[in-house]
Amino acid sequence: MSWVRGTAEGVVLSVHACPRAAKSAICGLHGGALKVRLRAPPVDGAANLELVRFLAGELGVARNQVAIISGMAGRSKRIAVAGVTEAQARALAH
C-alpha cells in the first residue's frame, strides 16, 4: 500500500509520528508510511497540533486544509490534505 492516495479534494497521507524529537522533520518512509519526527510531546494533543502545523508548512497550505482523520491517540495516523496533488505530497519523502 502506498503512503499517499489521491482524492477528489487532495490527498490522504499515511503517517508514522515520532513525538519528543530534538526537532520536527520528515525522516523518509517507515513501514509504508511517511515518518515524521515531532518536537512536541504526546500530551493533551500537542503532538497532533504540531503534526498539522508542520505538514501544512511543508506542503504550503493553510492549517485548516490539514486534518487528522484517524489515529488521534496513536503513532500511525491518516491525514487528509486539501488542495495538494499526489506529486506534491510524494516530494515530502525526498
What CATH number is associated with residue 38?
3.30.1200.10
pLDDT surpasses 80 at 1: no
Q: What is the mean pLDDT of residues 71-85?
A: 98
**The pTM is what?**
0.95
CA dihedral over 21, 33, 44, 59, signed as positive or negative: positive
pLDDT in the model for residue 94: 81
| Chain mean pLDDT for the chain | 96
DSSP single-letter state for residue 86: H
Range of the domain at 75: 4-93
Q: What is the mean pLDDT of residues 21-28?
A: 97
Q: What is the mean pLDDT of residues 1-25?
A: 96
Q: How many domains does the chain have?
A: 1
